[in-house]
Amino acid sequence: MVEPFPRAFVIGYPVAHSLSPDLHGFWLRRYGIRGSYEKIEVPTENLEEFLKNLQTRNFVGGNVTIPHKEMTYQIVKNRNQSTTRLEAVNTLWVENNILMAGNTDSYGFAANMDDFVSGWRDAKTAMVLGAGGASRAVVLALINAGFEQIFIANRTTSRAIVLVDKMGSRCTAVDWDDIPTCLKQIQLLINTTSLGMKGQHSLEIDLSNLPKSAIVSDIVYNPLNTQLLEQARLLGLESVDGIGMLLHQAVPGFEKWFGLRPKVTDELRKFVLDRLSGDAM
Ligand code: ATR
């Protein structure tokens, strides 16, 4: 009998704009793997049924995107520690016939930082802008990397306070208006808000208070060169753009589904960026 080839997916609602099929399709072709990665639009009311039945459809797992990350976390109870801390799932896989849930966003953030600023883990103080799901993943990455003090600033301060309560004593909530003063004390600044994204306002923060040795990172990748990163470069600060987080967060899933750990290369980066600029036309 011919073995069925492994099928993976990304589920969301809507899911049309997901770049994951391009990314995983690139690796499937690059490594000559017989397998598929499909976009599947799943309305919220069908999510539980989809998750229950995926193994009978030969799916080996897949990615979960907006708006299903939190609900998938509630439904799939087999998960690792970092997923439990994030209370959101972006990757599913089957292990010994059991559906497993994980979150690779913290890994993706840290691996991207490792690629561009080898010494970033030596820094001890950071500020994270934003308090949504992406912020939480970045804060966890900073805790895992050994940061001692993490300031969290959000337009809605109450959300920053909730996040601080969840992430522990190394975190401190900061009022949005107090960002300029706080910049003096930090070695790494990360934007996780949607400000700076195509179609959104830019993030209007004066970075001149940052120490000269500070690193500025933006997880926005469309556009790749946000005004925040532009300003950081003009000030001579080290800067890290957001596309690598998207690429690296995909690595553990691909390895689990298709049995090979794929590489994040310049060629992949260029391929995905070309797809993005194509969408912009
Ligand atoms: P995600 O889960 O992707 O992080 P999210 O939960 O929608 O997305 O979070 C978006 C972040 O961008 C939030 O921190 C949001 O701030 P609020 O909590 O105050 O909404 C932030 N954000 C969005 N628009 C903003 C704006 N115009 N100014 C400042 N922050 C903004």
| Structural domain spans, the chain | 7-104+250-280, 106-242
pTM of the model as a whole: 0.96
CATH superfamily of 7-104+250-280: Leucine Dehydrogenase, chain A, domain 1 (3.40.50.10860)
Residue 219 and residue 275: Cα distance in Å, rounded? 18
Pocket test for ligand 1, best of 155, 218, 222 (most atoms within 8 A of CB): 155
Residues with beta carbon inside 6 Å of ligand 1? 130-135, 154-156, 159, 192-195, 201
Among residues 39, 52, 69, 124, the one annotated as catalytic is: 69
Q: Computed over its alpha carbons, how large is the radius of gyration of the chain? A: 19
pLDDT value of position 279: 61
Residue 237 and residue 142: Cα distance in Å, rounded? 19
Q: Which residues of the chain have pLDDT under 70?
A: 1-2, 279-281
Question: Catalytic annotation on 69?
Answer: yes
Please enumerate, as own/partner, the contacts of 168-175 that have beta carbons within 8 Å and a separation of 24 or more. 168/143, 170/143, 171/139, 174/127
Give me the CATH code for the 106-242 domain, please: 3.40.50.720
